[in-house]
Amino acid sequence: MNAHAPIPTADAGCGVTIRQERGQRAVFCGLTGIVWLHRKIQDAFFLVVGSRTCAHLIQSAAGVMIFAEPRFATAIIDERDLAGLADMNEELDRVTRRLIERRPDIRLLFLVGSCPSEVIKLDLPRAAQRLSQSFAPDVRVLSYSGSGIETTFTQGEDACLAALVPELPRTAAEAAPSLLVVGALADVVEDQFARLFAEMGLEHVAFLPARRAGAMPAVGPNTRILLAQPFLADTARALEARGATRLPAPFPLGAEGTTAWLRAAADAFDVEPGRFADATAPGLRRAEQALAPYRALLGGRRVFFFPDSQLELPLARFLSREMGATLIEVGTPYLHRGHMAPELALLPAGTEVVEGQSLDAQMDRCRTARPDLTVCGLGLANPLEAEGLATKWSIELLFTPIQGYDQAGDLAELFARPLVRRTRLEV
């Protein structure tokens, strides 16, 4: 689904080198997306069809959240299923029925494919169709793949949202142009953006995913989509297939990114420049004020990004342009040339972008460069700290509200905190 044919090494045309690397990858699989997605869609349940490893992964990623009656679980394939002693489709139906009986509040059920279910070619889309019919009209059942062989970390959200797109209602042909903001955002951030668009005078603004299964937005040829997250390749393609038009923009990280992102929508809806300035001025002023103290801490710091979420390019752009940091290497698990074009155009000339990973080689480059700050996953963070490198663990950037004006200071603080901590500790 998300495995893309390698594109030959190309210069993006703005002095940024993009290199591809293959080898061992230290990244999460797409199942991890469930951990934040289930909190966003409040009446959805995510049932992974996989192995004990999948259940163990989600448990490790979800931490203590697993006990608060979360809306996700794993149907563990066992040897009886594999040996053909049990009909796997019947087993899946049985497990799902038991689940729906226990959780009658569920309106939308996602069957989430894993590496084992993909490799044995269990037909989850068909199972979803079958179960949808048997639970209609109370529960809709959809499927997508969050397997490691096909998705990396945040691509799980992409696959999930892309599965929702064909189900979205169609807008009337004569409907007024509408704006659809795509990508799961923290509720507080979503509300801030909704207010900003309202102040600009945009009347028809919706968010995908919606907070409830029954309230998903409509889509059609009059829909303009604005991606709030950089990892939504398949979702954007599915929306475009339904006639929607994507508005190219950098991503709303930092003051500059947020303004440019909002401006893309304002321009598409012919918002008068004065009105745009009035709507954005207070946020911009607050963001500038919040960012100022962190410039002294982050300015001139040399930063190295390991690949993780596809947020690396916009984050690097924010750190370099707004905080004055120097970029050593920006790793990303996957780079969508089209969606990233506005970001690439803003990166300083000479930035080394590496798509994919060969873990040991990349760690060698990192050790040689001895960056002031290394952004990486939790499997690498403590080992690099033990080698004397300051690190910022990257997963936090997915769970913390970081988009928009009023989170710009928090975003800078996330990077500044490990550096501040090192100056404080005397042991």
Q: Which residues bind another protein (CB under 8 A)?
A: 3, 5, 24-32, 49, 51-53, 55-57, 59-61, 63-64, 66-67, 70, 72-79, 81-82, 86, 88, 91-92, 94-95, 98-99, 115-116, 118-120, 147-150, 152, 360, 377-383, 385-386
**Farthest-apart Cα atoms in the chain, separation:** 70
Q: Tokens standing for 227?
A: 């991606």
Q: Which C-beta is closer to another protein: that of 122 or that of 325?
A: 122
Q: Tokens standing for 15?
A: 């002095």
74 close to 96: Cβ distance less than 8 angstroms: no
- CA–CA separation, 207 and 164 (whole Å): 13
- CA–CA separation, 388 and 384 (whole Å): 7
Q: How many CA atoms lie within 13 A of 417 on its CB side?
A: 10
| Least distance (Å) between residue 124 CB and another protein | 13
CB contact set of 205 (below 8 Å; sequence gap of 6+): 178, 179, 180, 181, 194, 197, 198
| Least distance (Å) between residue 106 CB and another protein | 14
Q: Which C-beta is closer to another protein: that of 27 or that of 262?
A: 27
| Least distance (Å) between residue 40 CB and another protein | 19
Q: Which C-beta is closer to another protein: that of 54 or that of 271?
A: 54
- CA–CA separation, 286 and 283 (whole Å): 5
DSSP secondary structure code for residue 154 in this structure: T
| Least distance (Å) between residue 105 CB and another protein | 16
Q: Which C-beta is closer to another protein: that of 196 or that of 398?
A: 398
Residue 358: what are its φ and ψ, rounded to 5°?
Answer: -130, 100
| Least distance (Å) between residue 289 CB and another protein | 35
| Least distance (Å) between residue 190 CB and another protein | 28
For residue 357, give the 3-state DSSP assignment: coil
Q: Which C-beta is closer to another protein: that of 30 or that of 209?
A: 30
Q: Which C-beta is closer to another protein: that of 76 or that of 260?
A: 76
247 close to 202: Cβ distance less than 8 angstroms: no
